């Protein structure tokens, strides 16, 4: 049974409020009697005049306002790479080995350890680590 076969289930018609006795929604139009909610529209997040939650948390509001919440650079030390055999080093391999998290957006290889294998690195590297990798016969290819 697919929902597309029953259009009445998929989409309901809008209730036309306050359009005569036949509609069943006359006089108060389903809002009850009296009170703030019966009279006018209430904005989302309104707390009865109390300072709203969104205004009590200023650092969390707005797009890109809180720089401390941005993702930083995930660092991988060169000493950890020296445990790997020679070959390509990509983001996928670093995630698979658990050196960086899956959510890591920017990865950079740092450090000044001795490199014994020739690596082809497809991740950003510091100047010092780039020199050490190329000296060992590898290369840094940043796309």
Q: Is 103 helix (H, G, I), strand (E, B) or coil?
A: coil
| pTM (two decimals) | 0.51
Pairing mode, strands 73-77 and 106-110: parallel
Res. 23 pLDDT band, cuts 50 70 90: confident
Q: State pLDDT tens for residues 70-82.
A: 667 889 999 888 8
Q: State pLDDT tens for residues 72-110.
A: 788 999 988 888 888 899 999 999 999 998 888 889 999
Domain ranges of the chain: 15-60, 71-140
Nearest to 93 by CA among 125, 121, 133, 72: 121
Q: State pLDDT tens for residues 3-18.
A: 556 555 677 778 888 8
* CATH number, span 71-140: 3.100.10.10
């Amino acid at each position: 049974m697919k929902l597309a076969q029953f259009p009445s289930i998929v989409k309901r018609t809008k209730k036309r409020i306050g359009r005569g006795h036949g509609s069943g929604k006359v006089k108060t139009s389903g809002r009850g009697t009296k009170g703030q909610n019966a009279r006018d529209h209430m904005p989302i997040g309104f707390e009865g005049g109390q300072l709203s939650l969104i205004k009590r948390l200023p650092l969390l509001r707005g797009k890109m306002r809180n720089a401390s919440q941005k993702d930083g650079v995930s660092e991988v030390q060169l000493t950890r790479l020296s445990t790997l055999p020679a070959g390509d080093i990509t983001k996928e391999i670093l995630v698979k080995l658990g050196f960086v998290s899956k959510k890591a957006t920017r990865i950079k290889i740092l450090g000044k350890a001795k490199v014994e294998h020739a690596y082809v690195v497809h991740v950003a590297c510091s100047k010092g680590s780039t020199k050490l990798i190329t000296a060992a016969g590898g290369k840094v290819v940043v796309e």
